Amino acid sequence: MPTSASPASLRAGAADPPAESRSGTRPALAAVLLGFFTIMVDAMIVNVALPSIGTGFGSGMTGLQWVVDGYALAFAAFLLSAGAVSDRVGARQAFAFGLGLFVAASAVCATAPNLGVLVAARLAQGAGAAMVVPSSLALLRETFPDPTARAKAIALWGVGGSVGAAAGPVAGGLLTLIDWRMIFFVNLPIGAVALVLLRRAQPSPRRAVPFDWTGQVAAVAAMGALTFAVIEAGADGFGTAQALAAFATAVVAAVVYLAAQARGRHPMTPLPLLRSRTMSLTVAIGFALNVGFYGMIFLLGLYLQQVHGLSALATGVAFLPMTVLTSFMSPVAARLASRYGARMPMITGQLLMATGLLAMVTLPGGAPVWLTVVLMVPVGAGGAMAVTAMTALLLEQVPAERAGVASGVLNAARQLGGALAVAVFGALVAGRAGFVSGLHTSLLIAAGTVALSVVATWLLRTQVPHQIPVTATEAGTRLLEH
Protein backbone atom coordinates (compact mmCIF):
# COMPACT_ATOMS: atom_id res chain seq x y z
CA MET A 1 0.00 0.00 0.00
CA PRO A 2 2.48 2.64 -1.15
CA THR A 3 1.92 6.35 -1.09
CA SER A 4 4.82 8.65 -1.80
CA ALA A 5 8.56 8.44 -1.62
CA SER A 6 11.81 10.35 -1.96
CA PRO A 7 15.13 8.81 -3.03
CA ALA A 8 18.62 10.04 -2.42
CA SER A 9 18.52 11.86 -5.71
CA LEU A 10 15.58 13.92 -4.46
CA ARG A 11 17.53 15.30 -1.53
CA ALA A 12 17.85 19.01 -1.09
CA GLY A 13 20.34 20.62 -3.35
CA ALA A 14 20.51 17.85 -5.95
CA ALA A 15 21.43 19.35 -9.31
CA ASP A 16 18.98 19.17 -12.22
CA PRO A 17 20.02 16.90 -15.09
CA PRO A 18 21.22 18.47 -18.32
CA ALA A 19 18.57 19.52 -20.82
CA GLU A 20 19.52 16.80 -23.31
CA SER A 21 18.55 14.12 -20.78
CA ARG A 22 14.94 15.32 -20.63
CA SER A 23 13.80 13.62 -23.83
CA GLY A 24 11.85 10.40 -23.60
CA THR A 25 9.77 11.75 -20.72
CA ARG A 26 6.62 9.75 -21.40
CA PRO A 27 8.36 6.42 -22.05
CA ALA A 28 10.40 6.85 -18.88
CA LEU A 29 7.30 7.63 -16.82
CA ALA A 30 5.40 4.69 -18.32
CA ALA A 31 8.34 2.37 -17.62
CA VAL A 32 8.57 3.50 -14.01
CA LEU A 33 4.83 3.13 -13.43
CA LEU A 34 4.70 -0.34 -14.98
CA GLY A 35 7.78 -1.50 -13.11
CA PHE A 36 6.57 -0.31 -9.72
CA PHE A 37 3.05 -1.61 -10.38
CA THR A 38 4.50 -5.06 -11.06
CA ILE A 39 6.56 -4.99 -7.87
CA MET A 40 3.54 -4.06 -5.74
CA VAL A 41 1.24 -6.63 -7.35
CA ASP A 42 3.81 -9.32 -6.58
CA ALA A 43 4.11 -8.19 -2.96
CA MET A 44 0.43 -9.07 -2.33
CA ILE A 45 -0.31 -11.76 -4.89
CA VAL A 46 1.68 -14.63 -3.39
CA ASN A 47 -0.15 -14.99 -0.06
CA VAL A 48 -3.37 -16.02 -1.79
CA ALA A 49 -1.56 -18.76 -3.73
CA LEU A 50 0.32 -20.29 -0.76
CA PRO A 51 -2.02 -23.26 -0.21
CA SER A 52 -1.82 -24.15 -3.91
CA ILE A 53 1.98 -23.86 -3.86
CA GLY A 54 2.11 -26.12 -0.82
CA THR A 55 -0.09 -28.69 -2.53
CA GLY A 56 1.89 -28.51 -5.74
CA PHE A 57 5.21 -29.23 -4.04
CA GLY A 58 3.86 -31.32 -1.17
CA SER A 59 5.35 -28.71 1.17
CA GLY A 60 4.56 -28.08 4.81
CA MET A 61 4.41 -24.78 6.66
CA THR A 62 8.18 -24.29 6.76
CA GLY A 63 8.43 -24.22 2.98
CA LEU A 64 5.54 -21.77 2.66
CA GLN A 65 7.17 -19.49 5.23
CA TRP A 66 10.30 -19.33 3.09
CA VAL A 67 8.32 -18.55 -0.06
CA VAL A 68 7.16 -15.35 1.68
CA ASP A 69 10.23 -14.59 3.76
CA GLY A 70 12.79 -15.15 1.03
CA TYR A 71 11.39 -12.17 -0.84
CA ALA A 72 10.94 -9.99 2.27
CA LEU A 73 14.44 -10.62 3.61
CA ALA A 74 16.21 -9.85 0.35
CA PHE A 75 14.11 -6.73 -0.08
CA ALA A 76 14.92 -5.55 3.47
CA ALA A 77 18.64 -6.28 3.34
CA PHE A 78 19.40 -4.80 -0.07
CA LEU A 79 17.14 -1.78 0.45
CA LEU A 80 19.78 -0.43 2.85
CA SER A 81 22.27 0.18 0.04
CA ALA A 82 20.09 0.22 -3.08
CA GLY A 83 19.99 4.02 -3.20
CA ALA A 84 23.76 4.24 -3.11
CA VAL A 85 24.03 1.70 -5.93
CA SER A 86 21.48 3.68 -7.95
CA ASP A 87 23.55 6.84 -7.57
CA ARG A 88 26.73 4.96 -8.37
CA VAL A 89 25.65 3.28 -11.63
CA GLY A 90 22.94 5.73 -12.69
CA ALA A 91 19.20 5.63 -12.06
CA ARG A 92 18.12 4.31 -15.47
CA GLN A 93 20.79 1.64 -15.48
CA ALA A 94 19.98 0.58 -11.91
CA PHE A 95 16.25 0.47 -12.69
CA ALA A 96 16.88 -1.67 -15.76
CA PHE A 97 19.10 -4.05 -13.81
CA GLY A 98 16.68 -4.33 -10.89
CA LEU A 99 13.61 -4.86 -13.06
CA GLY A 100 15.50 -7.25 -15.33
CA LEU A 101 16.56 -9.30 -12.30
CA PHE A 102 13.00 -9.27 -10.97
CA VAL A 103 11.54 -10.44 -14.31
CA ALA A 104 14.19 -13.14 -14.78
CA ALA A 105 13.62 -14.38 -11.24
CA SER A 106 9.85 -14.40 -11.88
CA ALA A 107 10.45 -16.70 -14.86
CA VAL A 108 12.44 -19.05 -12.64
CA CYS A 109 9.67 -18.95 -10.01
CA ALA A 110 7.09 -19.84 -12.65
CA THR A 111 9.08 -22.83 -13.88
CA ALA A 112 10.61 -23.94 -10.57
CA PRO A 113 10.89 -27.75 -10.45
CA ASN A 114 11.00 -27.84 -6.66
CA LEU A 115 10.57 -25.67 -3.59
CA GLY A 116 14.29 -24.95 -3.17
CA VAL A 117 14.52 -23.36 -6.61
CA LEU A 118 11.36 -21.35 -5.94
CA VAL A 119 12.73 -19.94 -2.68
CA ALA A 120 16.07 -19.08 -4.30
CA ALA A 121 14.23 -17.26 -7.09
CA ARG A 122 12.12 -15.40 -4.52
CA LEU A 123 15.34 -14.16 -2.93
CA ALA A 124 16.44 -12.85 -6.32
CA GLN A 125 13.03 -11.22 -6.82
CA GLY A 126 13.40 -9.38 -3.52
CA ALA A 127 16.87 -8.13 -4.42
CA GLY A 128 15.61 -6.87 -7.77
CA ALA A 129 12.61 -5.15 -6.16
CA ALA A 130 14.91 -3.43 -3.65
CA MET A 131 16.82 -1.92 -6.58
CA VAL A 132 13.70 -0.88 -8.51
CA VAL A 133 12.14 1.25 -5.77
CA PRO A 134 14.83 3.91 -5.17
CA SER A 135 16.06 3.93 -8.76
CA SER A 136 12.52 4.47 -10.08
CA LEU A 137 12.18 7.59 -7.98
CA ALA A 138 15.64 8.84 -8.87
CA LEU A 139 14.72 8.37 -12.53
CA LEU A 140 11.60 10.48 -12.03
CA ARG A 141 13.77 13.17 -10.45
CA GLU A 142 15.99 13.26 -13.52
CA THR A 143 13.13 13.04 -16.01
CA PHE A 144 11.06 15.81 -14.41
CA PRO A 145 13.34 18.66 -13.28
CA ASP A 146 10.33 20.97 -12.86
CA PRO A 147 9.03 20.55 -9.27
CA THR A 148 5.35 20.75 -10.28
CA ALA A 149 5.68 18.14 -13.02
CA ARG A 150 7.79 15.97 -10.73
CA ALA A 151 5.18 16.11 -7.96
CA LYS A 152 2.51 14.93 -10.40
CA ALA A 153 4.75 12.11 -11.63
CA ILE A 154 5.49 10.94 -8.08
CA ALA A 155 1.78 11.08 -7.27
CA LEU A 156 1.12 8.81 -10.27
CA TRP A 157 3.90 6.53 -9.01
CA GLY A 158 2.14 6.25 -5.66
CA VAL A 159 -1.26 5.66 -7.24
CA GLY A 160 0.17 2.94 -9.47
CA GLY A 161 1.64 1.18 -6.46
CA SER A 162 -1.61 1.46 -4.52
CA VAL A 163 -3.60 0.02 -7.42
CA GLY A 164 -1.09 -2.81 -7.71
CA ALA A 165 -1.30 -3.64 -4.01
CA ALA A 166 -5.11 -3.53 -4.09
CA ALA A 167 -5.31 -5.68 -7.22
CA GLY A 168 -2.74 -8.22 -6.03
CA PRO A 169 -4.97 -10.54 -3.95
CA VAL A 170 -7.77 -10.66 -6.54
CA ALA A 171 -5.30 -11.18 -9.39
CA GLY A 172 -3.67 -13.92 -7.35
CA GLY A 173 -7.02 -15.64 -6.86
CA LEU A 174 -7.92 -15.46 -10.54
CA LEU A 175 -4.55 -16.69 -11.76
CA THR A 176 -4.35 -19.47 -9.18
CA LEU A 177 -7.59 -20.89 -10.58
CA ILE A 178 -5.56 -21.60 -13.73
CA ASP A 179 -2.27 -22.55 -12.06
CA TRP A 180 -0.34 -20.96 -9.20
CA ARG A 181 2.63 -20.56 -11.55
CA MET A 182 0.65 -17.93 -13.45
CA ILE A 183 1.10 -15.46 -10.57
CA PHE A 184 4.76 -15.30 -11.59
CA PHE A 185 4.31 -15.61 -15.36
CA VAL A 186 2.17 -12.46 -15.33
CA ASN A 187 5.24 -10.41 -14.36
CA LEU A 188 7.02 -11.29 -17.60
CA PRO A 189 5.00 -9.37 -20.22
CA ILE A 190 4.51 -6.31 -17.99
CA GLY A 191 8.18 -6.20 -17.08
CA ALA A 192 9.23 -6.72 -20.70
CA VAL A 193 7.10 -3.79 -21.88
CA ALA A 194 8.59 -1.59 -19.15
CA LEU A 195 12.14 -2.52 -20.17
CA VAL A 196 11.40 -1.77 -23.84
CA LEU A 197 9.99 1.64 -22.92
CA LEU A 198 13.01 2.29 -20.73
CA ARG A 199 15.30 2.03 -23.75
CA ARG A 200 13.85 5.33 -24.98
CA ALA A 201 14.94 7.16 -21.83
CA GLN A 202 18.33 8.84 -21.71
CA PRO A 203 21.16 7.18 -19.72
CA SER A 204 21.49 8.57 -16.22
CA PRO A 205 24.59 10.27 -14.87
CA ARG A 206 26.78 8.35 -12.46
CA ARG A 207 28.05 9.69 -9.17
CA ALA A 208 31.12 8.76 -7.15
CA VAL A 209 29.24 7.16 -4.25
CA PRO A 210 31.19 4.75 -2.01
CA PHE A 211 29.72 1.37 -1.05
CA ASP A 212 29.77 -0.34 2.34
CA TRP A 213 30.52 -3.93 1.33
CA THR A 214 31.14 -5.17 4.86
CA GLY A 215 27.93 -3.65 6.18
CA GLN A 216 25.84 -5.01 3.32
CA VAL A 217 27.14 -8.58 3.61
CA ALA A 218 26.74 -8.50 7.40
CA ALA A 219 23.17 -7.17 7.12
CA VAL A 220 22.18 -9.98 4.73
CA ALA A 221 23.79 -12.58 6.99
CA ALA A 222 22.23 -11.24 10.19
CA MET A 223 18.68 -10.95 8.83
CA GLY A 224 18.80 -14.25 6.99
CA ALA A 225 20.30 -16.21 9.90
CA LEU A 226 17.83 -14.77 12.40
CA THR A 227 14.82 -15.66 10.25
CA PHE A 228 16.22 -19.12 9.53
CA ALA A 229 16.75 -19.67 13.25
CA VAL A 230 13.18 -18.70 14.11
CA ILE A 231 11.68 -20.88 11.37
CA GLU A 232 13.84 -23.88 12.29
CA ALA A 233 13.15 -23.42 15.99
CA GLY A 234 9.43 -23.33 15.28
CA ALA A 235 9.62 -26.55 13.30
CA ASP A 236 12.07 -28.61 15.37
CA GLY A 237 12.60 -26.74 18.65
CA PHE A 238 15.06 -24.16 19.93
CA GLY A 239 17.54 -26.77 21.12
CA THR A 240 18.46 -28.18 17.72
CA ALA A 241 21.97 -27.74 16.40
CA GLN A 242 20.71 -25.93 13.29
CA ALA A 243 18.68 -23.40 15.26
CA LEU A 244 21.46 -22.70 17.75
CA ALA A 245 24.04 -22.29 14.98
CA ALA A 246 21.74 -19.92 13.10
CA PHE A 247 21.11 -17.80 16.20
CA ALA A 248 24.88 -17.63 16.84
CA THR A 249 25.50 -16.63 13.21
CA ALA A 250 22.89 -13.88 13.50
CA VAL A 251 24.54 -12.48 16.62
CA VAL A 252 28.04 -12.53 15.10
CA ALA A 253 26.82 -10.92 11.87
CA ALA A 254 24.98 -8.22 13.83
CA VAL A 255 28.16 -7.42 15.78
CA VAL A 256 30.14 -7.21 12.54
CA TYR A 257 27.49 -4.92 11.06
CA LEU A 258 27.57 -2.55 14.05
CA ALA A 259 31.37 -2.52 14.02
CA ALA A 260 31.36 -1.67 10.31
CA GLN A 261 28.94 1.19 10.94
CA ALA A 262 30.99 2.50 13.86
CA ARG A 263 34.45 2.24 12.29
CA GLY A 264 33.88 2.13 8.55
CA ARG A 265 34.78 5.09 6.36
CA HIS A 266 31.46 5.04 4.50
CA PRO A 267 28.82 3.32 6.70
CA MET A 268 25.33 2.66 5.36
CA THR A 269 23.74 3.62 8.67
CA PRO A 270 25.97 5.90 10.75
CA LEU A 271 25.53 5.11 14.45
CA PRO A 272 24.86 8.75 15.44
CA LEU A 273 21.67 8.47 13.39
CA LEU A 274 20.60 5.32 15.22
CA ARG A 275 21.21 7.02 18.57
CA SER A 276 18.53 9.57 17.77
CA ARG A 277 15.50 9.00 19.98
CA THR A 278 13.16 9.74 17.09
CA MET A 279 15.01 7.34 14.82
CA SER A 280 15.20 4.43 17.25
CA LEU A 281 11.56 4.71 18.35
CA THR A 282 10.31 5.09 14.78
CA VAL A 283 12.21 2.00 13.68
CA ALA A 284 10.65 0.03 16.56
CA ILE A 285 7.18 1.32 15.65
CA GLY A 286 7.62 0.45 11.97
CA PHE A 287 8.78 -3.05 12.94
CA ALA A 288 5.68 -3.53 15.13
CA LEU A 289 3.26 -2.27 12.48
CA ASN A 290 4.51 -4.76 9.92
CA VAL A 291 4.35 -7.58 12.45
CA GLY A 292 0.64 -6.81 12.75
CA PHE A 293 -0.16 -6.22 9.09
CA TYR A 294 1.92 -8.79 7.22
CA GLY A 295 1.45 -11.34 9.97
CA MET A 296 -2.32 -10.99 9.51
CA ILE A 297 -2.12 -11.21 5.71
CA PHE A 298 -0.09 -14.42 5.91
CA LEU A 299 -2.39 -16.00 8.50
CA LEU A 300 -5.70 -15.10 6.88
CA GLY A 301 -4.64 -16.17 3.41
CA LEU A 302 -4.19 -19.66 4.86
CA TYR A 303 -7.14 -19.50 7.28
CA LEU A 304 -9.77 -18.59 4.69
CA GLN A 305 -8.73 -21.47 2.43
CA GLN A 306 -7.73 -24.18 4.88
CA VAL A 307 -10.38 -23.62 7.57
CA HIS A 308 -13.27 -22.06 5.65
CA GLY A 309 -12.57 -23.89 2.40
CA LEU A 310 -12.67 -20.76 0.23
CA SER A 311 -11.18 -20.86 -3.24
CA ALA A 312 -8.14 -18.76 -4.06
CA LEU A 313 -10.38 -16.33 -5.96
CA ALA A 314 -12.85 -15.97 -3.09
CA THR A 315 -9.92 -15.38 -0.73
CA GLY A 316 -8.59 -12.64 -2.98
CA VAL A 317 -12.01 -10.99 -3.07
CA ALA A 318 -12.19 -11.19 0.72
CA PHE A 319 -9.05 -9.04 0.93
CA LEU A 320 -10.43 -6.47 -1.51
CA PRO A 321 -12.37 -4.19 0.92
CA MET A 322 -9.27 -3.82 3.08
CA THR A 323 -6.81 -3.19 0.25
CA VAL A 324 -9.07 -0.72 -1.56
CA LEU A 325 -9.84 1.34 1.54
CA THR A 326 -6.22 1.28 2.63
CA SER A 327 -5.10 2.89 -0.63
CA PHE A 328 -7.13 5.99 0.30
CA MET A 329 -5.82 6.36 3.86
CA SER A 330 -2.47 8.00 3.17
CA PRO A 331 -3.86 11.39 2.08
CA VAL A 332 -6.22 11.31 5.06
CA ALA A 333 -3.30 10.69 7.39
CA ALA A 334 -1.29 13.47 5.75
CA ARG A 335 -4.12 15.99 6.33
CA LEU A 336 -4.55 14.92 9.94
CA ALA A 337 -0.81 15.15 10.57
CA SER A 338 -0.72 18.62 9.04
CA ARG A 339 -3.54 19.81 11.28
CA TYR A 340 -2.95 17.97 14.56
CA GLY A 341 0.62 16.74 14.37
CA ALA A 342 1.92 13.30 13.41
CA ARG A 343 1.34 11.58 16.74
CA MET A 344 -2.46 11.84 16.54
CA PRO A 345 -2.92 9.86 13.27
CA MET A 346 -0.15 7.49 14.35
CA ILE A 347 -1.85 6.60 17.63
CA THR A 348 -5.29 6.49 16.00
CA GLY A 349 -4.04 4.11 13.35
CA GLN A 350 -2.24 1.90 15.86
CA LEU A 351 -5.33 1.66 18.06
CA LEU A 352 -7.44 0.72 15.03
CA MET A 353 -4.94 -2.01 14.15
CA ALA A 354 -4.76 -3.39 17.68
CA THR A 355 -8.55 -3.33 18.04
CA GLY A 356 -9.10 -5.20 14.79
CA LEU A 357 -6.48 -7.83 15.66
CA LEU A 358 -7.90 -8.33 19.16
CA ALA A 359 -11.42 -8.66 17.79
CA MET A 360 -10.20 -11.43 15.46
CA VAL A 361 -8.84 -13.31 18.47
CA THR A 362 -12.38 -13.61 19.85
CA LEU A 363 -13.75 -15.20 16.66
CA PRO A 364 -14.38 -18.95 16.85
CA GLY A 365 -13.20 -21.16 14.02
CA GLY A 366 -16.71 -21.29 12.55
CA ALA A 367 -17.29 -17.52 12.52
CA PRO A 368 -18.77 -16.25 9.24
CA VAL A 369 -16.30 -15.12 6.61
CA TRP A 370 -17.92 -11.70 6.28
CA LEU A 371 -17.04 -10.93 9.90
CA THR A 372 -13.38 -11.67 9.28
CA VAL A 373 -13.51 -9.46 6.18
CA VAL A 374 -14.98 -6.60 8.23
CA LEU A 375 -12.32 -6.90 10.93
CA MET A 376 -9.50 -6.80 8.37
CA VAL A 377 -10.52 -3.27 7.38
CA PRO A 378 -9.42 -1.43 10.56
CA VAL A 379 -6.15 -3.35 10.58
CA GLY A 380 -5.25 -2.31 7.04
CA ALA A 381 -6.65 1.21 7.21
CA GLY A 382 -5.15 1.89 10.63
CA GLY A 383 -1.78 0.59 9.53
CA ALA A 384 -1.73 2.80 6.44
CA MET A 385 -2.66 5.83 8.52
CA ALA A 386 0.06 5.14 11.08
CA VAL A 387 2.79 4.40 8.52
CA THR A 388 2.16 7.57 6.52
CA ALA A 389 2.26 9.82 9.58
CA MET A 390 5.22 7.95 11.05
CA THR A 391 7.36 8.33 7.94
CA ALA A 392 6.47 12.00 7.60
CA LEU A 393 7.45 12.58 11.23
CA LEU A 394 10.77 10.83 10.80
CA LEU A 395 11.69 12.77 7.68
CA GLU A 396 10.83 16.04 9.41
CA GLN A 397 13.03 15.24 12.38
CA VAL A 398 16.19 14.00 10.69
CA PRO A 399 18.51 16.30 8.73
CA ALA A 400 17.60 16.61 5.04
CA GLU A 401 20.88 15.06 3.95
CA ARG A 402 20.07 12.01 6.07
CA ALA A 403 16.51 11.45 4.80
CA GLY A 404 17.52 8.66 2.42
CA VAL A 405 19.48 6.77 5.07
CA ALA A 406 16.74 7.17 7.69
CA SER A 407 13.95 5.99 5.40
CA GLY A 408 16.03 3.07 4.16
CA VAL A 409 16.67 1.88 7.72
CA LEU A 410 13.01 2.35 8.65
CA ASN A 411 11.72 0.33 5.72
CA ALA A 412 14.33 -2.40 6.20
CA ALA A 413 13.14 -2.73 9.80
CA ARG A 414 9.54 -2.89 8.63
CA GLN A 415 10.31 -5.66 6.14
CA LEU A 416 12.21 -7.57 8.82
CA GLY A 417 9.19 -7.25 11.14
CA GLY A 418 6.96 -8.80 8.50
CA ALA A 419 9.45 -11.60 7.82
CA LEU A 420 9.80 -12.52 11.50
CA ALA A 421 6.02 -12.41 11.94
CA VAL A 422 5.63 -14.98 9.16
CA ALA A 423 8.37 -17.11 10.76
CA VAL A 424 6.85 -17.07 14.26
CA PHE A 425 3.18 -17.23 13.31
CA GLY A 426 3.73 -19.98 10.77
CA ALA A 427 5.26 -22.14 13.50
CA LEU A 428 2.33 -21.44 15.82
CA VAL A 429 -0.42 -22.39 13.36
CA ALA A 430 1.49 -25.55 12.41
CA GLY A 431 1.89 -26.57 16.07
CA ARG A 432 0.16 -29.36 17.97
CA ALA A 433 -2.54 -27.06 19.33
CA GLY A 434 -4.09 -26.81 15.86
CA PHE A 435 -4.50 -24.08 13.26
CA VAL A 436 -7.27 -22.06 14.92
CA SER A 437 -5.56 -22.05 18.32
CA GLY A 438 -2.26 -21.03 16.71
CA LEU A 439 -4.09 -18.36 14.72
CA HIS A 440 -5.58 -16.82 17.87
CA THR A 441 -2.23 -16.91 19.67
CA SER A 442 -0.52 -15.28 16.71
CA LEU A 443 -3.13 -12.53 16.42
CA LEU A 444 -2.87 -11.88 20.14
CA ILE A 445 0.92 -11.48 19.82
CA ALA A 446 0.42 -9.16 16.86
CA ALA A 447 -2.13 -7.05 18.76
CA GLY A 448 0.17 -6.84 21.78
CA THR A 449 3.12 -5.82 19.62
CA VAL A 450 1.11 -3.03 17.99
CA ALA A 451 -0.21 -1.94 21.40
CA LEU A 452 3.37 -1.60 22.65
CA SER A 453 4.11 0.59 19.64
CA VAL A 454 1.46 3.02 20.94
CA VAL A 455 3.63 3.51 24.02
CA ALA A 456 6.66 4.15 21.81
CA THR A 457 4.65 6.69 19.82
CA TRP A 458 3.66 8.49 23.01
CA LEU A 459 7.35 8.83 23.87
CA LEU A 460 8.07 10.59 20.57
CA ARG A 461 8.57 14.31 20.85
CA THR A 462 9.03 16.94 18.19
CA GLN A 463 12.64 18.03 18.44
CA VAL A 464 15.33 19.87 16.55
CA PRO A 465 17.01 17.46 14.15
CA HIS A 466 20.36 16.09 15.30
CA GLN A 467 23.38 17.38 13.47
CA ILE A 468 25.00 14.21 12.15
CA PRO A 469 28.25 14.12 10.19
CA VAL A 470 27.58 13.59 6.51
CA THR A 471 29.00 10.77 4.40
CA ALA A 472 28.30 10.17 0.75
CA THR A 473 26.46 6.88 1.13
CA GLU A 474 22.66 7.13 1.34
CA ALA A 475 20.05 4.39 1.29
CA GLY A 476 18.08 6.37 -1.25
CA THR A 477 14.44 5.62 -0.60
CA ARG A 478 11.45 6.94 1.25
CA LEU A 479 9.13 4.09 0.43
CA LEU A 480 5.81 4.20 2.24
CA GLU A 481 4.65 0.75 1.17
CA HIS A 482 2.46 -0.97 3.70
Give 56-98 pLDDT, tens digit per residue: 998 888 889 999 999 988 998 888 887 777 777 788 888 999 9
Q: How far apart are the first and last CA of the chain?
A: 5
Q: Report whether 383 contacts 349 (CB < 8 A).
A: yes
Query: ∠ CA 286-287-291 to the nearest 5 degrees?
Result: 115
pLDDT of the residue at 20: 39
pLDDT (tens digit per residue) in 225-260: 898 888 887 777 777 888 889 899 999 999 998 888
Where b means 16+ CB within 10 Å and e means fewer, 230-239 reads bbbbbbeeee
Q: Report whether 295 contacts 425 (CB < 8 A).
A: yes
pLDDT of the residue at 433: 77
Q: Report whether 478 contacts 5 (CB < 8 A).
A: yes
Q: Domain 8-200+266-459's class?
A: mainly alpha
pLDDT of the residue at 403: 65
Biggest CA–CA distance in the chain, Å, is 65
Say which residues have a Cβ less than 8 Å from residue 231's Cβ, sequence separation at least 6: 62, 65, 66, 69, 423, 426, 427
Q: Report whether 289 contacts 350 (CB < 8 A).
A: yes
| Segments of the chain with pLDDT less than 50 | 1-22, 462-482
E strand spans, 132-208: none
pLDDT of the residue at 101: 95
Question: Cα–Cα distance between 2 and 160 in angstroms, integer?
Answer: 9
Q: Report whether 474 contacts 84 (CB < 8 A).
A: yes
pLDDT of the residue at 23: 52
Question: Cα–Cα distance between 53 and 62 in angstroms, integer?
Answer: 12
pLDDT of the residue at 7: 39
Q: Could you state, in order of their start, the residue ranges of all structural domains in the chain?
A: 8-200+266-459, 213-265
Residue 248 Rama label (left phi>0; alpha psi -120 to 50; beta): alpha
Tally of CA atoms within 13 A in the half-sphere of 416 that contains its CB: 25
pTM: 0.82
Q: Report whether 124 contacts 101 (CB < 8 A).
A: yes
Tally of CA atoms within 13 A in the half-sphere of 346 that contains its CB: 29
